[in-house]
Structure 1
Amino acid sequence: MKPKKLCLICVSVLLIISGFLITLLAPIVLTHVIRTQFVLTPESKLAQSWERVSSMMPMDFYFFNWTNPQDIYNRSVKPRFEQVGPYRFMMDLRKTNVTWNENGTVTYKQQKFWHFSEKGTNGSLQDRVTTLNTPALGAAHVARNWNYIVRKGLSFSLSSISVTHTVDELLFTGYPDALTKMAGTLPFFADKNIPKWDRFGWFYMRNGSSDFEGILNMETGTNSPFGTLNSWNYWTKTRYFDGNCGKVEGSSGDRFDASGNTIKMFFSELCRFLELEYVGETEVDGIVGKKYVLGGRALDNGTKYPSNKCFCTGDCMPSGVFNASSCQFGSPTFMSLPHFYNADPYYTSLVEGLGPRQDKHEFCMVLEPKTGVPLLANAKLQVNFLLHSVDAISLYEDVPTVFVPIIWFDQRATIPKKQLPMFKLLLNVPTIMTSIGGVLMVTGIVLLVVLNFYVIKKKKKKTTINQPEVSPLNPQEKCGLVSKKQLTS
């Protein structure tokens, strides 16, 4: 065989083998790339986007304006509420006090800045909202088991069931509140660790602060998957919930294990983790992801999921809300989905003006299944206060038992648009490699076929050239006949 032909055969075989190996190794290469790229180190590009999120995230606040607080002692009239908002703020998230530990973990705090955005806001920060007097109810609830004389003394300082303030005051600016100022100094409240504030607001003193969400310790990906939370305020188990409910576990929110039917995420504002359930696939920015929602598993009172009972802290309610009182200085705080979506009808039966809807009030996350990166995080939660009678405190002695909706928020986060092309390229590595492998294999096979065809054709031509010429026989000779003349001769 000529050297040129041999060389072409070798090239063809090499192309076929290379294409096959590239196709075979495509998923392995993606796994390796994910493992190497999702490791947090001080010098990595991942660390830059982790420490300072490049794009601000919208956060909408909705208040429930209480339209008939004067009827609270009339048992024939339900409390009526009107939703106002949204009031949109753009949230800037940063990591501060970052410490890289030798055991492959990182310790940090979270710092958040909120900037008001008129675009997306329905109303003004100067809108006035009437709402439950939560500092007063919180104090009464904490004092419900105190000495009768102490309760009577507290009763004289409580004068109103409701308060009316601007949205700005209710959120970040705060409004002067004598009880809030007094609670931080009284020995009765010492075990509740109530801050020494002179004003009350749901996000008072939080804007720009890194002290409210505690100290977090997370895996960097060196030894365990990046994003796995190890401890909060140096606790692996909090003091706020008993048993397994007090565990600090789940994701920090940066990355998840999307291989199962549930995921867990720890929320420091709630002092607990929340478990979300897989419900199907959906598409975000052209990428197919796994959708998880906050549903019955997280909101159950222990009836359907017995392991949830320790979240009740001894005060189990119908499914659909969870008790956050232990995390909120002992105040009767209960969290739910907005408008009591997915909750027992009991809650909406106590009030008027609410209308739960899946398309507006669902808490969901969409994860890219191979990397576990959130394609979409849409966190929606509602703060409710349990209004109930308290003996010896005149303001609350005759009130009905009602879960009063106060405020709900909607926070949305997606992959920054600048990072989307590179992320899609990463996910398409197997497809690109498989395509390249396929092209190489087809090229090799075609080359072999062409070479084989050329060899066969050349052989046929050579055989034709070397064959001797034969004179054509006449028809009689062809039949084996001879003439008379040939016989006589």
Structure 2
Amino acid sequence: MWKKPWPIIVSSILCFAGLVIVFVTPIVLKSLVFYNSILRPESRVYNLWKHFPVRVSVDFYFFNWTNPEDIYSKGVKPRFAEVGPYTYMVDLGKTDIVWNDNNTVTFRPIKYYYYSEDKSNGDLQDRITCPNPVSIAAAHVSRNWNYVVRRGLSLTLSGIAPTVNISRTIDELLFTGYPDTLTKMAKTFPFFAGTEIPPWERFGWFYKRNGTSDLEGIYNTGTGINSIFAKIYKWNYWSKSPYYEGTCADIDGSTGEKFDQDSLGDRIKIFSMELCRAVVLQYVGDVDVDGISGRKYQLDDYMLDNGTKYPETKCSCSGDCLPYGVFNISRCRYGSPAFGSLPHFHKAEPYFNSLVEGLHPEKEKHDFYIVVEPYTGFTLQARARLQINLLLHSIPGVTIYENVPTAFLPIMWFDHRIDVPDSELFMLKQILNVRWISTTIGVVMMVAGLLLVLYFIMKQRRRNVRMKETLQNKVVLKRPEEKKLLSEK
């Protein structure tokens, strides 16, 4: 037995304190993360959510059609040359915020685009040649009409839009828009009765999108209280998208700001109003973002499939299944034959690039991915890259489209880049460092306590051995004296 109990007391305290630090600190930190991830007007995350503290950038690349005069020449493919980027800095915000009784919040996203001349490779007044989106859309919509009615449309197009191509400035094609006679007159044409027509008289790919919230839609998302923060429950009051069928119609996924860390698996979903559906991303590995480890998810074969590899993705075809790599968004775009893909048909079947010339897919430049910090669920980095394509195909009865080749014509692609602000990155590092440091300290304390006990056990054993040896030596010395006394007697 030890004469003094303090070694046991000290080692017990170290082991107990270490256990508390190792097991209790993560619980406390997770509670703090959860508490600070609840969206409410007085919370810290609210200001970050309502107005992103830094401007993000988006690059627009357009495809200049260099040989439109050869569109009716057999064996000659449409040829394109990429121009850009035309870079904009974007303020991200939310407006018309309504707090609901079911612990969700309803709002409209709003974006302000500011052209960055220094970061752009070109000028907004650059003029390019591209397919005529309004004319192609009108002809495509008429493909199932009565032949006589199609001839009526043919005469109309011959008078106001006699060519498959148009020439416009980048500014007109993006936000300013350009006046289009067919768009203006469509409502007066009897053959467009019953057809959904855009409610404006100008056309631009992002017309009415700068500084307004009208076209972004109305989002209903969770606040973190009896709901999942940033998870979309409804869009435009729909829980099912009217543009798709089956599970593809589910209004599902995150806004992209944060994900439920407890359900981070092989796939995550981000809802895209550009596609009117959720974008599915697949886990591809862990990466480092400014010293923080995150899970990287890419737009990959599941999202790019049309029922070939994954039968459940057939619902994304919208009645027109295509080879792997391109997804149909025509119903989401007023019936226009619009199709989404990765830039330059990256990861798509060679079929699509075989129909045109001038496209060169590159993995590093054209991947769509997002990096999520798994402990908090917050997004560390995002590179949203998508390309808009128009399907050109023969339409009997519409003269200018009767003899055109079948091709998916690339129009433009954008690269939307989002990175966590330095201030938020610093705080995230502190949370993760405290978690790592506390775990390390706890383990060190437990090991120190166990080593201290082991040290005193060994020390006590050595002391016991020495005491035993001393007693034995005394006995050995005493026996000869006893013999001498007995002999004298």
Confirm or deny a common fold (TM above 0.5): yes
> Which residue of 2 is the match for residue 373 of structure 1?
378
> Which residue of 2 is the match for residue 249 of structure 1?
252
Residue type of the alignment partner of 1:180? T
1:356-390 Cα shifts (integer Å, max 9, x gaps): 11111111111112222211111110000001112
CA distance in 1, matches of 2:277, 2:175: 24
Q: Which of the two has higher C-alpha Rg?
A: 1
Deviation at 1:225, TM superposition (A): 2.1
- Residues 154, 400 of structure 2: 8 Å contact kept: no
CA distance in 2, matches of 1:446, 1:184: 85
Moved more, 422-431 or 298-307: 422-431
Structure 1 pair 385–461 and aligned structure 2 pair: CA distance change class (3 A): closer
Deviation at 1:187, TM superposition (A): 5.8
TM-score, normalised to structure 2's length?
A: 0.89
Equivalent residue for 2:242, pick from 233, 239, 244: 239
Please say if 1:228 is aligned against 2:231: yes
1:92-138 Cα shifts (integer Å, max 9, x gaps): 11011111111111111100011111232111112111111111111
Deviation at 1:305, TM superposition (A): 1.3
CA distance in 1, matches of 2:282, 2:466: 72
- Residues 184, 195 of structure 1: 8 Å contact kept: no
1:321-361 Cα shifts (integer Å, max 9, x gaps): 11110000001101111000111111101111011111111
> Which residue of 2 is the match for residue 466 of structure 1?
none
Please say if 1:415 is aligned against 2:417: no
CA distance in 1, matches of 2:84, 2:56: 18
CA distance in 2, matches of 1:460, 1:447: 20
Q: Which has the higher helix share?
A: 2
- Residues 196, 335 of structure 2: 8 Å contact kept: no
Identity %: 49
Deviation at 1:208, TM superposition (A): 0.3
CA distance in 2, matches of 1:191, 1:85: 38
Please say if 1:111 is aligned against 2:128: no
Deviation at 1:409, TM superposition (A): 0.4
Structure 1 pair 213–461 and aligned structure 2 pair: CA distance change class (3 A): same
Residue type of the alignment partner of 1:120? K
Structure 1 pair 248–460 and aligned structure 2 pair: CA distance change class (3 A): closer
Please say if 1:176 is aligned against 2:175: no
- Residues 238, 247 of structure 1: 8 Å contact kept: yes
1:203-258 Cα shifts (integer Å, max 9, x gaps): 11210011111111011111122121101011101211112211111112122245
Q: Secondary structure at the match of 2:160?
A: coil
Structure 1 pair 179–436 and aligned structure 2 pair: CA distance change class (3 A): same
Residue type of the alignment partner of 1:217? N
Please say if 1:206 is aligned against 2:209: yes
Q: Secondary structure at the match of 1:396?
A: helix
> Which residue of 2 is the match for residue 339 of structure 1?
344
Please say if 1:76 is aligned against 2:75: yes
- Residues 270, 324 of structure 1: 8 Å contact kept: yes
Structure 1 pair 392–457 and aligned structure 2 pair: CA distance change class (3 A): closer
Structure 1 pair 59–6 and aligned structure 2 pair: CA distance change class (3 A): same
- What is the root-mean-square deviation in Å for CA atoms of aligned residues? 3.1
> Which residue of 1 is the match for residue 471 of structure 2?
none
1:146-167 Cα shifts (integer Å, max 9, x gaps): 3423434433433121111111
Count of residue pairs brought into register by the alignment: 478
- Residues 42, 100 of structure 1: 8 Å contact kept: no
**Runs of 4+ deviating beyond 6 Å:** 446-463, 477-482
CA distance in 2, matches of 1:268, 1:192: 21
Query: Within 5 Å, which residues of 2 pair with 1:457-476?
Result: none
Equivalent residue for 2:403, pick from 380, 393, 398: 398
> Which residue of 1 is the match for residue 98 of structure 2?
99
> Which residue of 1 is the match for residue 358 of structure 2?
353
CA distance in 1, matches of 2:331, 2:26: 47
